[in-house]
Structure 1
Amino acid sequence: MRILLVEDEKTLSGYIAKGLQNSGYAVDAVYDGEEALYEYAVNGYDLIVLDLNLPKKDGLDVLREIRRKDVNIKILILSARSAVDDRIIGLDEGANDYLVKPFDFGELEARIRNLLRREFSQIPTTVTLGLLSLDTKSKQVSYDGTEINLTRKEYGILEYLMIHKNQVVSAEEMTEHVWNHTFDPFSNTFRYHIHSLKKKLHTVSALDCIKTVRGQGYVMEDKA
């Protein structure tokens, strides 16, 4: 899943970004409101973590502008504005959640997980496809009880495919949600990771769990 992090305190931003990346998220970090709107306009994000005290354009103005165009993107306000009135305004303007600074990173991550689950019709923490099981909280994958060790990107690809099971997903869509803006579309990175993922799944299951649909993308089908 791909997250836009909008936080002008660069030390804090780096701490949050590193923590989320360690949990398998792709993160683009920006430091002012104008840059946030630009990145939102040119990229596809699953969730935005938004500070309110931003240079160039206030976070509430960023929130309002995005909400005028998009009612579906998940937005979590992360702000030092702790008054009840501030929280009410943020939620009334369209934020899905509001977390006050200082905060515990574990709580931030839990709130992000909760919002992302809501985006996909309240999917459970554990997603299954036949004997294949994926835990979105622990980031663990197993087949018939046997754990499969995946890299972060392999996990990200598998998670996206399993959440969208029975749907053909293009390589472009997957890279947009699994990588950040540093991804080079002309490299072999995606093909390498999906080949490695398919090989690992085949090793434990003896099945081709990920089907290639020529000219369209990839699909994981729930035979049940």
Structure 2
Amino acid sequence: MDNELLDYKVLFIEDDKEINQRVTARLKRYFKHVDSVFNAEDGYVLYLDKRPDIIFIDVNLPKMNGLNLLKKIREKDHNTKAVMLTAKSDIDTVLQSTSLKLTKYLIKPLNRKDLEETILLLKKEITDFKVINENNFHFSDNYFWNVEKSELKHNSNIVTLTPNENKLFQTFIKNINRILSYDDLSLELWNDFNEDKNEALKTTIKNLRKKIPKDLIQNEYGIGYKLIY
């Protein structure tokens, strides 16, 4: 692999302190952004806060095991890549969990070759594939977004969006859980970006928020916005 660090956010969850420190240090040789925790509860909190691109999870975690944690994440998130760390004795259990959409499982102790092959595979998946598991996104309060029709419904009623609101929502859907800067969004709406567009952008987002579930679009202060799914 080349020496350039990959610009992906990585979360590593492992309860063994020595393994955690060693693997975290190794992951930092490949990725710019690496966070680690020692249990599933802290892992889920950090997942919600950081919205990582990749999660490495040990199967045997205290209180909530790694498979149950990933099941919880997969209730709403089918895009984050997941790699499971497992002992040989747990392989059958991991292989039965096909619905969890694992990129790969790694047998402990990890070796450099397997880790590098996995990282190359993760990079290819993130670069080449965008996971959209269905044509309809189901949000809270019975809101649905139809990808093919670019149409928002509440229950069975179409929610009327202005052309800019619709274009904005499409942009958020294509970049779920990712922060989009003011410039990114202005460029999508007006093929231009400058500070003069910021107020118009804020007004469009304010009006869009009135028509969708509360807190679906979140403001990242001083940076931009993201849609949480």
TM-score by length of 2: 0.52
Task: Give the count of matched residue pairs.
Answer: 136
- Specify the alignment match of 1:7 in structure 2: 14
C-alpha displacement of 1:99: 1.0
- Specify the alignment match of 1:109 in structure 2: 116
Measured in 2, the distance between the counterparts of 1:57 and 1:16 equals 21
* Aligned amino acid, residue 103 of structure 2: N
**Contact map agreement 1:5 1:49 (CA 8 A) in 2:** yes
Once the two structures are overlaid, the 10-residue window that deviates more, 80-89 or 62-71, is 80-89
User: Which contiguous aligned blocks of 4+ residues in structure 1 show a shift greater than 4 angstroms?
Assistant: none
In structure 1, the gaps of 5 or more residues are 124-163, 174-211, 218-224
- Specify the alignment match of 2:181 in structure 1: 170
Measured in 2, the distance between the counterparts of 1:52 and 1:84 equals 10
In structure 2, the gaps of 5 or more residues are 1-7, 131-174, 185-191, 199-222, 224-229
- Specify the alignment match of 1:31 in structure 2: 38
Residues 171, 34 of structure 1: CA spacing in aligned structure 2 closer, same or farther, 3 A cutoff? farther
The 5-angstrom pairing of residues 90-169 of structure 1 reads 90-121=97-128
- Specify the alignment match of 1:49 in structure 2: 56
Residue 75 of structure 2 aligns to a residue in which SS? helix
Measured in 2, the distance between the counterparts of 1:90 and 1:172 equals 41
Residues 172, 42 of structure 1: CA spacing in aligned structure 2 closer, same or farther, 3 A cutoff? farther
Once the two structures are overlaid, the 10-residue window that deviates more, 7-16 or 96-105, is 96-105
Q: Deviations over 1:32-65 (max 9, x none)?
A: 0111111111112110001011012111110100
C-alpha displacement of 1:120: 2.1
C-alpha displacement of 1:106: 3.0
**Contact map agreement 1:8 1:55 (CA 8 A) in 2:** yes
Residues 171, 28 of structure 1: CA spacing in aligned structure 2 closer, same or farther, 3 A cutoff? farther
**Contact map agreement 2:183 2:193 (CA 8 A) in 1:** no
TM-score by length of 1: 0.53
Residue 120 of structure 1 aligns to a residue in which SS? helix
- Specify the alignment match of 1:71 in structure 2: 78
Residue 101 of structure 2 aligns to a residue in which SS? coil
State, as a whole percentage, how many aligned pairs show the same letter.
29
Measured in 2, the distance between the counterparts of 1:214 and 1:172 equals 7
Q: Which has the higher contact order (CA 8 A, sep 6+)?
A: 1
Residues 122, 65 of structure 1: CA spacing in aligned structure 2 closer, same or farther, 3 A cutoff? closer
Q: CA RMSD in A?
A: 3.1
Residue 102 of structure 1 aligns to a residue in which SS? coil
C-alpha displacement of 1:114: 1.0
* Aligned amino acid, residue 28 of structure 1: D
- Specify the alignment match of 1:182 in structure 2: none
Measured in 1, the distance between the counterparts of 2:183 and 2:44 equals 22
Residues 18, 84 of structure 1: CA spacing in aligned structure 2 closer, same or farther, 3 A cutoff? closer
Measured in 2, the distance between the counterparts of 1:27 and 1:37 equals 15
Residues 84, 54 of structure 1: CA spacing in aligned structure 2 closer, same or farther, 3 A cutoff? closer
* Aligned amino acid, residue 73 of structure 2: I
